[in-house]
Amino acid sequence: MSSTIRAIRGMNDILPDEVYQWDFFETTIRDWLAAYGYHNIRTPIVEQTDLFVRSIGTATDIVEKEMYTFVDHLNGESLTLRPEGTASCVRAVLEHSLLYTGPQRLYYYGPMFRHERPQKGRYRQFHQVGVEAIGYANAEIDAELIIMCARLWRQLGISNLRLEIGTLGSVASRAVYRDRLIDFFERHLHYLDEDARRRLYTNPLRILDSKNPAMHEIILNAPKLLDDLDEESLVHFKELQDRLHHQGIDFEVNLKLVRGLDYYNRTVFEWKTDKLGAQGTVCAGGRYDGLIEQMGGKHTPACGFAMGIERILALMNETGVKIDRTAADVYVVYQGEIAAKFCWNVAEYFRDNELKVILHCGGGNFKSQMKKADASGARFAIIIGDDEANDNEVSIKPLREAVEQVRVGLNEAVVLLKQD
């Protein structure tokens, strides 16, 4: 006997009992983004590997360890399942000359893939919503993206998220800071763990993000980026803080905030919770003014963020946010030769009138059919016997409240079924 094939570890099925939460979230997301003038863009889940190497950076964990990369045996191309969405979005913007008509407000959502150790809130196939504002240089758009998130948390019923903001400065000021960091860590090499030593000359800023408790003190004493920030970045960061204060958005300044992708500059931010253990970041983003030029376009400022859908849904469940399940309006049961034909017309008539209808299939007596009607979650059972069919009528039995069954014509039935 052959063994049962199971889903790949870290890649999960989303079952019907869970999908209603995703439907609610996706509907909320679409309405929320439409309110701010953002438009949906959809890109392939497979891209040329070089897209991510050039954009994310060769010295990142994502490129070094986590990408699902394979060779297309038909043409020898190296392809990768997308580990994040910004690079694909920017590639599409350049390929289709979307900036020709002016700045773009775009969003996407869908599956991403990273070969990580699966744990709560971290999966190998995970889903993200990404929001990108491309062509905007000043701090207004940075502030809008953060303020947008605050509105979304209210709409989803999520509270007690902590916002941390920081700045990485310009490319030039970060290069000066990078050299000072390398010099500092070289003089304290014996304090660095294996991972930090590996990053020292490729991505020393990532050392500051180490979770190793043994390195806490050395990181605390490391040079501060603030000392090397250029004047324009300081002004930009102050303007961002002023706008957030004006809109009543609470935040903490964290100048050790380092994103895991190389393309960020100036503003970086994260929304965090203490309800999900180690995977506490539910939304993160920042500014990436150099990415488009790095990918072959003209210098174009841009800012964006991404949020993990699984983490947000887990947070909603953890904090007791209630989401109503959508069930069918009616479940049609029938008995008799004439009724067996008439019930199809009834079901389609109700659907024509925007009702959600389950038509019983599989036979059985009225008692067994009514059990299935009750289990379906439908608000009403529509009962059809040969008598009802001959008179072009149906009997309506409420399933969720103690109200008498009534027999009416189809037009009146629609009116009654649509009443709250």
Structural domains for the chain: 16-170+230-318 (3.30.930.10), 330-418 (3.40.50.800)
* Average per-residue pLDDT for the chain: 89
What is the rounded distance in angstroms from the CA atom of residue 81 to the CA atom of residue 94?
20
pLDDT of 260: 53
Share of the chain above pLDDT 90, in %: 57
Identity of the residue numbered 93: V
The H or E element that residue 94 is part of is helix 86-95
- Ranking 24-33, 35-44, 166-175, 383-392 by mean pLDDT, the lowest is 166-175
pLDDT tens digits, one per residue of 7-44: 999 999 999 889 999 999 999 999 999 999 999 999 99
The conformational region for residue 373 under phi > 0 = left, psi -120 to 50 = alpha, else beta, is: alpha
CA nearest neighbour of 76 among 98, 49, 57 = 49
Show Cβ contacts of residue 258 under 8 Å, excluding neighbours closer than 6 positions: 168, 205, 206, 208, 209, 268
pLDDT of 173: 82
What is the rounded distance in angstroms from the CA atom of residue 237 to the CA atom of residue 309?
29
Quickly list H helices, 157-278: 171-187, 194-199, 216-220, 231-246
pLDDT tens digits, one per residue of 216-264: 888 888 888 777 788 888 999 999 999 999 999 999 998 777 655 556 7
pLDDT of 261: 54
- Arithmetic mean of pLDDT, 268-293: 88
**Residue 97: what are its φ and ψ, rounded to 5°?**
50, 40
